[in-house]
Amino acid sequence: MCGSNIQFLQLRSVDLPNLFEEAIQESEVKKQDIKKAEAELNKVTVEVDTRIKSAQFQKNVSINIAEGDASAMIQQNQASVDSLIQVQNAQSAAYKKLKESLGMNNEDLLSFIKTKVVKNYEGKDLALNIDSPVKRKLK
């Protein structure tokens, strides 16, 4: 048996009908258009994915900043509350010691505190309700 195996064939001059040649050219142009469209689709897909990832990253940054601000605010408020409680406890202990050392009753201590508040008031308007000395002696 005799045979041959052809690996490559090149035609140097082939004359095809015009319609056939135009169809081949149009087919090649369409293939190029398809490749351009696929490349554009890939480009747009990458751009959209990049924008999505960027938006997700920015969202996470915004959430982290907001959570950090909220945490800082909570800690600052808690510190203010703790400080106020300490001041009130110290003031209460000081008033207790003053009351005991001067032998005051509750009414005397309240009168002292009211006098101190009026003395230290720095506002423009102050309304007071003061018992008449006569009424106080009658009690």
Q: Is the pLDDT of residue 136 over 80?
A: no
pTM: 0.51
Averaged pLDDT, 66-84? 97
> Burial code of 34-65, b = ≥16 C-beta within 10 A, e = fewer?
eeeeeeeeeeeeeeeeeeeeeeeeeeeeeeee
Least confident of 10-14, 64-68, 75-79: 10-14
Averaged pLDDT, 64-83? 97
> What is the rounded average pLDDT for all residues in the chain?
88
Q: Is residue 99 within 8 Å of residue 109, measured between CB atoms? A: yes
Percent of the chain with pLDDT over 70: 91
Alpha-helical (H) ranges within 15-120 are: 18-102, 106-120
